[in-house]
């Protein structure tokens, strides 16, 4: 049993609320009864996870069999034979003319390799994903003699668990979905979790991926001059945030052209407050991290600052597109944050959200669908793929539209191409085969459609005009597949979905393409080890002050911002700015 698996189980058990065991004690249960009847059923997901790791570890194990079994033994584990296959084929390839190895040394048949891909998200439970994987694995077996399994990292505390999986580094996973802006790709590269990918490896085992990625984009996937990531760079997506609102109510409020500023958003909220009894203008769940998105949205809408992604605390920006490499913090300096705090205070006093907002964890999207609120904060892609189509069904005539953050200042930055990327685990026992699998998932139409859409005729159908639709009788809960494949989508193979609000998508994408700038910091990997303590302190300060500021729970907004900034100064924000600036200057000089 790996010590890491013990830690995994320990942390999982610790996450079980203490109140549950207390309730068992109140009912008279002893420790053993509580463990068998309460704790054990709740840790089944953790047991399944450990079982998967152990099974894959033993399946891919070859070293001990080569160490303890003599050449005279007739039967050896499959992976021992596969190891010999790989070594002999590699030897054949490495010889100039093959003069020192006989073709009779090659095996008569190859052996199948188990490949596990790490994906974030809650594991599907309807059985359809497993059914799709069976069909996909038949194809992978035929094409590259490999099979694919998905290891799910559920959303609860996903980043901590993701990094723990990579820290284990035991070879149980091969393909690792990652991202430089939300999944710690560069920190894990620095820790040695990902394999360095040579040009020869990519050209040989992922040739279509190699050809499809431009030299400029490969440069953005390098650390210390070596490639570690394969970017999702041929997929147009916009996950920039903003407010989703009802256009029917906006017209009633006199906003005939819709909402295009924070001021107009306030007018829209006020109309709902005055004219829609029982409806909360914005029934926001304030006890999470949404304050980060809202505050950042205000900054992008009232400055030309460019947000720097991937740092431990979201307080740092480039000054502007014309001065991108000067590090600033609008949270620490400038008038914009004061105006933000004043506006949020006014919105709170006007009753635009519930009074217990900081303790509320409800489903704002669900309340919007039910007609109980007038807005929700999320991103563009979620608007046209889900909210608008669902609202057209649940609230006919609502015509939900999207006010994107940064609209007033035309301040919009395109996603970095490594917002989604694929890496190979540095402990992978067969990185070449993993690359071959990824190349098929990304570029082979049959594999791509299976992995992204499911089985044709069951999960989707293709219309006469080449769009994707659902079969008659399709029920999402019963029939959908889920792979959360955000690491290699390809617009050349994508099917436009008839259920999406495609007119709105095309309209917004046309606007974005005209004004957006490329993310300017895609290649720099900031090293914050020298300011680790300051970063931790700043995170604590922001998580303390940010929610109250965003939801107007302050007496004097201006004084509160001043107090916040003094706390940032004491936490070391000036040291962090100086450190980031020094690294920026060194990299871009």
Q: What domains can you pick out in the chain, each with its CATH number?
A: 112-236+412-500 (3.40.190.10), 241-282+362-409 (3.40.190.10), 284-359+526-589 (no CATH)
- Tell me how far apart the 2 most distant CA atoms of the chain are, in Å: 87
Distance, in Å, from the CA atom of 157 to the CA atom of 137, rounded to the nearest integer, reads 30
Distance, in Å, from the CA atom of 86 to the CA atom of 435, rounded to the nearest integer, reads 15
Q: Which of 414, 412, 411, 402 is nearest to 260 (CA)?
A: 402
Output the pLDDT for position 100.
32
Tell me, rounded to whole angstroms, the distance of Cα 582 from its chain centroid.
29
Distance, in Å, from the CA atom of 549 to the CA atom of 555, rounded to the nearest integer, reads 10
pLDDT in single tens digits along all 589 residues of the chain: 577 778 878 888 888 887 788 888 887 888 888 888 888 888 888 888 888 888 877 777 766 666 666 555 666 677 666 666 666 555 444 433 333 333 333 333 334 445 556 677 778 899 999 999 999 999 999 999 999 998 888 887 788 888 888 888 888 889 999 998 888 898 899 899 999 999 999 999 999 999 999 999 999 999 989 999 999 999 988 989 999 999 999 999 999 999 999 999 999 999 999 999 999 999 999 988 899 999 999 999 999 999 998 888 999 999 999 999 999 999 999 999 999 999 999 999 999 999 999 999 999 999 999 999 999 999 999 999 999 999 999 999 999 999 999 999 999 999 889 989 999 999 998 899 999 999 999 999 999 999 999 999 999 999 999 999 999 999 988 999 999 999 999 999 999 999 999 999 999 999 999 999 989 998 788 889 999 999 999 999 999 999 999 999 999 999 999 999 999 999 999 999 999 999 999 988 7
C-beta neighbour count of 390 within 10 angstroms: 16
Enter the DSSP assignment of 349: H
- What phi and psi, each to the nearest 5 degrees, are found at residue 231? -80, 150
Contact 177, 119 (CB under 8 A): yes
3-class secondary structure for 213-276? CCHHHHHCCEECCEECCEECCECCCCCCEEEEEEHHHHHHCCCCCCCCCHHHHHHHHHHHHHHC
Distance, in Å, from the CA atom of 123 to the CA atom of 348, rounded to the nearest integer, reads 38
Q: Which of 562, 525, 437, 571 is nearest to 150 (CA)?
A: 437
Q: Which of 49, 63, 463, 407 is nearest to 258 (CA)?
A: 407
What is the full DSSP assignment across 32-100? HHHIIIIIHHHTHHHHHHHHHHHHHHHHT--HHHHHHS-TT-S---HHHHHHHHHHHHHHHHHSSSSTT
How do residues 145-175 score in pLDDT, each as one tens digit? 999 998 888 887 788 888 888 888 888 889 9
Q: Which of 179, 271, 236 is nearest to 384 (CA)?
A: 236
Output the pLDDT for position 97.
37
The pTM of the whole model exceeds 0.85: no
Q: Which of 461, 454, 467, 465 is nearest to 496 (CA)?
A: 467
Contact 420, 177 (CB under 8 A): yes
Q: Which of 222, 313, 320 is nearest to 520 (CA)?
A: 320
Contact 262, 408 (CB under 8 A): yes
Give the total residue count for the chain: 589
- Packing angle of the helix pair 532-550, 336-350 (nearest 10 deg): 40
- Packing angle of the helix pair 336-350, 290-302 (nearest 10 deg): 120
Distance, in Å, from the CA atom of 126 to the CA atom of 482, rounded to the nearest integer, reads 10
Distance, in Å, from the CA atom of 386 to the CA atom of 304, rounded to the nearest integer, reads 30
Q: Which of 515, 517, 511, 513 is nearest to 322 (CA)?
A: 517
- What phi and psi, each to the nearest 5 degrees, are found at residue 171? 85, 5
Report the alpha-carbon angle 268-270-272, nearest 5.
Answer: 75
Output the pLDDT for position 392.
97
Phi-psi region for residue 192, left (φ > 0), alpha (ψ -120 to 50) or beta?
A: left
Q: Which of 361, 403, 396, 356 is nearest to 379 (CA)?
A: 403
Of all helices (H) and strands (E), which one includes residue 548? helix 532-550
Phi-psi region for residue 122, left (φ > 0), alpha (ψ -120 to 50) or beta?
A: beta
Distance, in Å, from the CA atom of 118 to the CA atom of 182, rounded to the nearest integer, reads 15
Q: Which tokens is 32 given?
A: 């053993």
3-state secondary structure of 116: strand
Distance, in Å, from the CA atom of 280 to the CA atom of 373, rounded to the nearest integer, reads 5
Q: Which tokens is 194 given?
A: 């990902």
Distance, in Å, from the CA atom of 273 to the CA atom of 247, rounded to the nearest integer, reads 16
């Amino acid at each position: 049993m790996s010590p890491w698996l013990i830690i995994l189980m320990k942390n999982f058990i610790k996450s079980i609320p203490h109140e549950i065991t207390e309730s068992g004690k109140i009912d008279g249960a002893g420790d053993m009864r509580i463990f068998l009847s309460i704790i054990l059923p709740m840790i089944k997901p953790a047991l399944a996870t450990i079982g998967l790791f152990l099974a894959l570890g033993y399946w891919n194990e070859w070293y001990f069999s080569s160490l303890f079994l003599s050449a005279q033994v007739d039967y050896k584990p499959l992976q021992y034979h596969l190891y010999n296959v790989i070594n002999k084929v590699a030897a054949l390839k490495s010889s100039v003319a093959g003069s020192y190895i006989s073709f009779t040394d090659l095996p008569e048949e190859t052996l199948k390799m188990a490949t596990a891909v790490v994906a974030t998200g809650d594991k599907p439970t309807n059985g359809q994903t497993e059914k799709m994987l069976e069909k996909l694995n038949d194809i992978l077996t035929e094409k590259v003699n490999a099979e694919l399994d998905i290891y799910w990292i559920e959303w609860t505390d996903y980043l901590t668990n993701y990094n723990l999986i990579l820290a284990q580094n035991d070879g149980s996973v091969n393909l690792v979905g990652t991202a430089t802006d939300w999944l710690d790709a560069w920190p894990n590269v620095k820790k040695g979790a990902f394999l360095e990918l040579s040009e020869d490896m990519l050209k040989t085992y992922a040739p279509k991926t190699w050809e499809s990625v431009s030299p400029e984009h490969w440069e953005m996937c390098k650390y210390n001059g070596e490639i570690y990531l394969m970017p999702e760079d041929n997929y147009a997506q916009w996950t920039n945030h903003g407010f989703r609102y009802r256009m029917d109510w906006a017209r009633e409020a006199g906003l005939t052209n819709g909402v295009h500023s924070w001021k107009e958003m306030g007018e829209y909220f006020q109309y709902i407050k005055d004219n829609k009894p029982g409806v909360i203008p914005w029934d926001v769940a304030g006890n999470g991290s949404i304050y980060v998105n809202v505050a950042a949205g205000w900054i992008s809408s009232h400055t030309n600052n460019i947000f720097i992604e991937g740092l431990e605390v979201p307080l740092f920006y480039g000054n502007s597109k014309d001065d991108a490499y000067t590090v600033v913090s609008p949270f620490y300096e400038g008038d914009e944050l004061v105006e933000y705090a004043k506006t949020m205070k006014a919105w709170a006093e006007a009753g635009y959200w519930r009074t217990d907002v900081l303790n509320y964890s409800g489903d704002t999207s669900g309340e919007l669908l039910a007609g109980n609120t007038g807005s929700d904060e999320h991103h563009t892609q979620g608007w046209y793929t889900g909210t608008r189509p669902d609202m057209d069904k649940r609230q006919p005539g609502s015509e939900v539209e999207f006010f994107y953050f940064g609209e007033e200042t035309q301040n919009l930055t395109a996603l970095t191409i490594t917002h989604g990327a694929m890496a190979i685990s540095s402990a992978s026992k067969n990185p070449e085969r993993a690359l071959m699998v990824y190349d098929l998932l990304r570029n082979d139409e049959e594999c791509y459609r299976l992995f992204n859409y499911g089985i044709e005729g069951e999960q989707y159908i293709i219309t006469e005009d080449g769009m994707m639709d659902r079969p008659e009788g399709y029920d999402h809960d019963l029939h959908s597949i889920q792979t959360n494949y955000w690491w290699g989508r390809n617009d050349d193979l994508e099917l436009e979905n008839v259920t999406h609000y495609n007119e709105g998508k095309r309209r917004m994408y046309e606007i974005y393409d005209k004004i957006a700038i490329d993310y300017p910091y895609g290649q720099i990997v900031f090293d914050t080890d020298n300011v680790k303590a300051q970063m931790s302190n700043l995170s604590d300060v922001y998580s303390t002050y940010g929610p109250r500021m965003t939801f107007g729970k302050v007496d004097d907004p201006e004084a509160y911002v001043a107090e916040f900034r003094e706390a940032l100064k004491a936490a070391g924000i000036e040291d962090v700015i100086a450190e980031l600036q020094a690294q920026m200057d060194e990299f871009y000089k």
